[in-house]
Amino acid sequence: MEFTFTQDQIAFRDSVSRFLMTEAAPEMLREIWDTDAGRSPELRKKIAAQGLTALSVPEAEGGLGLGDVDWVLMTQELGYYAIPDSLTDTAYVAAGLLAGLPADHPARAAWLPRVVDGSARIAVGHPVNPWVADAHLADLLLLPHATAQGLTEGGTIMEFTFTQDQMAFRDSVSRFLMTEAPPELLREIWETDAGRSPQLREKIAEQGLTGLSVPEAEGGLGLGDVDWVLMTQELGYYAIPDSLADVAYIATGMLAALPEGHAVRTQWLPRVVDGSVRIAVGHPINPWVADGHLADLLLLPHATSEGLEVHAVPANAVKVSTERSIDASRRLCRVQWEPGSATRIADGKAGQALWDEALERGALSVAGQLVGLAQRMLDMTVDYAGQRKQFGKPIGAFQAVKHHLADVFTAIEFAKPVLYRAAAALASRDASTSARVAHAKLVCGEAALLAARKGIQVHGAMGYTWEVDLQMFMKRAWALNAAWGDRAFHQARLADALLTDQAPLGPGATFH
């Protein structure tokens, strides 16, 4: 088989090259680059006048009906001149999709003639691409929608962005914690026997934060996992010395999953809302029960042949021994208790589902806090690098220091979308939730550990000393990185999800 282009194809290529040499000079590219749209309506009109928008459109709709071989020459010229136009997306990819519809399809009849005359821009949102190019200028968007049979045109793709209300909520929480949880307060609470502040808990409850996940029927706001993913980042950023996430998110999620009217649900959830109760969760993934010494109620597991039961055990029915954590505000407890029918609120089958979901929420909560901690350590290190001088200039001016800080920034920015995707999966009860959450826990932990290590290095090791605030956030990151499943556990979960024969791998599964 010998492949050579015809004389007509070569002549066509040369004519395109001469046209673009004149109309797409580097000076014009610079001008277009500086515009808001990044495109030139005048250039598009000239391209259409040359008939280039009509190349793939069938002759029945006024086009030339050329094919892929002709386009392979065309695209080389478009690349050679770095043409600042979405010609290929509209006149080749989108036109090819529309031309593949039945001859009498209304979308084909309505849009292909407009492709020919250059009056329409069409953007293609293929699932292999995480973003849709030139969607801001498009008159029509061809988008995929997943069904049991495959992808269909004309649907929507998932775009994960927070709402204005969610962002305003995050900002209000940040302002509150900035005032009520400064590093000076953290130091004071660290030195107390309990490691917690009743006064701070009261202020948190007054802000309504304890009732975020409580259903409206019990006096709460009924918010979900996506709302909490913003909240936990703020709790991490300020290294909040309180078990708010454990009580108001994880424990509340378990109790809210009980049937409506359940005695334990109706008794305890209203008290979560008003902040008058602390609930500790003794998930078997954690060797100790955090804050068990202060809990009014403990949710504890009991193994049976059908799975793990859930027991709601009051504080007076347990014996607690306390150990200190590397994070001086946390108390880790060993709990001795006896299971019985009076404390059982879910049998083995139902209870196992509750504990599985609690694991996902616990790991997601910790992942969010780790991202917040990483960001705080980066901010503190940047501030220090701007103030500390060496050789007559701030150390932050030295390239080696900049590289350290850039590495941390990159790790944080790469961790955030993984965290948000995990929250969206958990909120929608996606089949991939466990893998998403495991991935989030791993990358968020890596970002926090990197921020701690680089922070110490930039501080010249004094960041590890008691006098510098960095050490508080660093120790919290080390402690949380091991909570709700260590790295080996989540790596195994992720490997199990990815290495099965039926694993949904590839860009189509990843980005949809």
Asked if pLDDT for residue 179 goes beyond 70, the answer is yes
The Cα-based distances of 134 to 84, 85, 105, 125 in angstroms read: 11, 9, 25, 10
Q: What is the pTM of this model?
A: 0.72
Alpha helices in 134-209 (DSSP H): 164-180, 183-190, 198-206
- How far is residue 496 CA from its own chain's centroid? 21
| pLDDT > 90 in the chain, percent | 52
Angle between helices 470-481 and 433-459 (to 10 degrees): 150
**Mean pLDDT across 76-91:** 87
Q: Which of 287, 428, 477, 440 lies closest to 363 in space, CA to CA?
A: 440
What the chain holds in terms of domains, given with CATH numbers, is 7-123 (1.10.540.10), 355-511 (1.20.140.10)
User: What's the pLDDT tens digit per position in 456-499?
Assistant: 999 887 877 888 889 999 999 999 999 999 999 999 999 998 88
- Min mean pLDDT across 228-232, 389-393, 447-451 is at 389-393
Asked if pLDDT for residue 68 goes beyond 90, the answer is no
pLDDT number for residue 278? 95
**Mean pLDDT across 253-282:** 94
pLDDT number for residue 146? 63
pLDDT number for residue 512? 44
pLDDT confidence of 189, banded at 50, 70, 90? Answer: confident
**Mean pLDDT across 121-126:** 90
User: What's the pLDDT tens digit per position in 297-340?
Assistant: 999 999 999 999 999 999 999 999 988 888 888 889 999 999 99
Write the Ramachandran bin of 126: left for phi over 0, alpha for psi from -120 to 50, otherwise beta.
beta
Average pLDDT across the chain, whole number: 88
